[in-house]
């Protein structure tokens, strides 16, 4: 139910507005002057505020200034029986949502409220999506364990160079985060960061995905298309799950790394490329080489700087920090007050077997945020009930 505040020194006006708005199902609060209105707006959340311009003590424009100063997010609709064009323009410039003259028109009032509420929903959704995108793109590496500090130090040392980096580690350990941090701290940070998941692309399409294709190169090639190497020009190309790349694609990637040139599928022209290659895999590439599934010469081209990302089970001391970090992000995304986790619950998190690593930890915390009753902390009973954790004895 939308909440509306009416600030007006005339009781009949407040009464009429209340009757109209409550009939439409809105929850209405009244304030008989600007001072009381500002106090109510600062203490409670209102979707829309109707504010008279001519009032004793504080006039409507002064009220509007105070609401803006206190960062009240409500849409403010100014109303006046003595309004002029100049007053209306001034109010709108200050940040008022609309200006309505008395006598108040029923249809105009209701239409303004509906539009203000719709815009409010849109603004909230936009902010939610912005927070989500920002959190998902965040390159901050969270942790204070010796293992993580060693990786952060290595990233800071290696990032300014153009050296190729091979990131290894279990699924969900945060290999992409390391790759993004390498890019953000490099001289290429203002150029594209392009990711290719080699495991998600069928082997017959991987070459087209990486190098692009010319029109007519194959049945579905109805137009020319640039590949990821060209799209990453000047920036970083992140080859994720490179251990799943087909042998033919491996050979072409090796040639591209050797010569810094590529050719689109179906094309003869060679295109010079300037990209930094960062690769990642959860596979043991030396074992893959021994079993003839991965090229040794490509491995040595990629692994100039090897980085092993530790599993979450190997960095348990970071779990409290990671838990707080993800709880803050998840609660913001779901529009909830930040939830606290009790010591016994946190102890269970640290004692769990995290086979899915950071990704599993975040999923468990999101489930707990959604299922924890309002006003309650995340305690051991909730973790036991909803966490689905396997504890290590």
DSSP 281-341: ESS-HHHHHHTTSS-HHHHHHHTTEEEEPPPGGG-GGGHHHHHHHHHHHHHHHTT-PPPPB
Please give the pLDDT value at position 132. 57
Segment (H or E) for 236? strand 236-240
Please give the pLDDT value at position 73. 87
Distance, in Å, from the CA atom of 330 to the CA atom of 366, rounded to the nearest integer, reads 6
* Cβ pair 229, 269 in contact under 8 A: no
Please give the pLDDT value at position 144. 92
Could you report the per-residue pLDDT of 206-217, keeping only the tens digit for each?
A: 999 999 999 888
The CATH homologous superfamily for domain 146-310 is: P-loop containing nucleotide triphosphate hydrolases (3.40.50.300)
Q: Which CATH number does 313-386 carry?
A: 1.10.8.60
Distance, in Å, from the CA atom of 45 to the CA atom of 152, rounded to the nearest integer, reads 42
The residues of the chain that CATH labels 3.40.50.2300 are 3-134
* Cβ pair 250, 198 in contact under 8 A: no
pLDDT at residue 135 above 70?
Answer: no
The residues of the chain that CATH labels 1.10.8.60 are 313-386
Q: Which two tokens stand for residue 48?
A: 């829309």
Distance, in Å, from the CA atom of 65 to the CA atom of 309, rounded to the nearest integer, reads 52
* CATH 3.40.50.2300 is held by the domain 3-134: yes
Please give the pLDDT value at position 75. 94
Distance, in Å, from the CA atom of 307 to the CA atom of 179, rounded to the nearest integer, reads 10
Distance, in Å, from the CA atom of 49 to the CA atom of 34, rounded to the nearest integer, reads 12
**233 CB-near residues (< 8 Å, 6+ apart):** 191, 192, 273, 274, 275
The residues of the chain that CATH labels 3.40.50.300 are 146-310
Could you report the per-residue pLDDT of 264-305, keeping only the tens digit for each?
A: 999 888 999 999 999 999 999 999 999 999 999 999 999 999
Q: Which residue, chain included where needed, has tokens 């790394």? A: 257
Please give the pLDDT value at position 85. 80
pTM across the whole model: 0.66
In whole numbers, what is the pLDDT of the chain averaged over residues? Answer: 91
pLDDT at residue 317 above 60?
Answer: yes
Q: Which of 62-66, 90-94, 353-357 has the lowest mean pLDDT?
A: 90-94
Please give the pLDDT value at position 217. 82
């Amino acid at each position: 139910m939308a909440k509306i505040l009416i600030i007006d020194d005339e009781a009949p006006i407040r009464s009429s507005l209340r009757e109209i708005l409550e009939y439409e199902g809105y929850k209405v609060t009244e304030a008989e002057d600007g001072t009381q209105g500002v106090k109510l707006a600062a203490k409670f959340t209102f979707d829309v505020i109707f504010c008279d311009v001519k009032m004793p003590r504080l006039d409507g424009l002064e009220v509007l200034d105070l609401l803006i100063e206190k960062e009240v997010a409500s849409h403010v609709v100014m109303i006046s029986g003595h309004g002029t064009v100049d007053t209306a323009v001034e109010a709108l410039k200050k940040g008022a949502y609309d200006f309505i003259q008395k006598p108040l028109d029923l249809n105009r009032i209701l239409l303004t409220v509906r539009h203000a509420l719709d815009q409010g929903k849109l603004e909230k959704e936009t902010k939610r999506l912005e927070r989500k995108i920002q959190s998902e793109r965040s390159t901050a590496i969270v942790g204070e364990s010796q293992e993580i500090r060693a990786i952060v130090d290595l990233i800071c040392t290696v990032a300014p160079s153009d050296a190729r980096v091979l990131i290894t580690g279990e699924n969900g350990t945060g290999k992409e985060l390391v790759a993004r941090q390498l890019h953000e701290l490099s001289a290429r940070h203002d150029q594209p960061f392009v990711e290719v998941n080699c495991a998600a692309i069928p082997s017959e399409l991987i070459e087209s995905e990486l190098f692009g294709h010319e029109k007519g190169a194959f049945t579905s090639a109805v137009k020319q298309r640039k590949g990821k190497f060209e799209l990453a020009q000047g920036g970083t190309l992140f080859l994720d799950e490179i251990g799943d790349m087909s042998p033919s694609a491996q050979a072409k990637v090796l040639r591209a790394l050797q010569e810094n040139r590529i050719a689109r599928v179906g094309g003869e022209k060679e295109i010079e490329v300037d990209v930094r290659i960062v690769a990642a895999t959860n596979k043991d590439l030396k074992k893959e080489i021994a079993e003839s599934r991965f090229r040794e010469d490509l491995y040595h081209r990629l692994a100039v700087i090897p980085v092993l990302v530790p599993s979450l089970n190997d960095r348990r001391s970071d779990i409290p920090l990671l838990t707080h970090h993800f709880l803050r992000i998840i609660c913001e995304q779901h529009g909830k007050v930040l939830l606290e986790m009790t010591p016994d619950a946190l102890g269970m998190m640290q004692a769990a077997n995290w086979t899915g690593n950071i990704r599993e930890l975040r999923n468990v915390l999101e489930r707990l945020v959604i299922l924890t009753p309002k006003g309650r902390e995340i305690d051991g009973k909730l973790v036991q009930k909803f966490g689905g954790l396997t504890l290590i004895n």
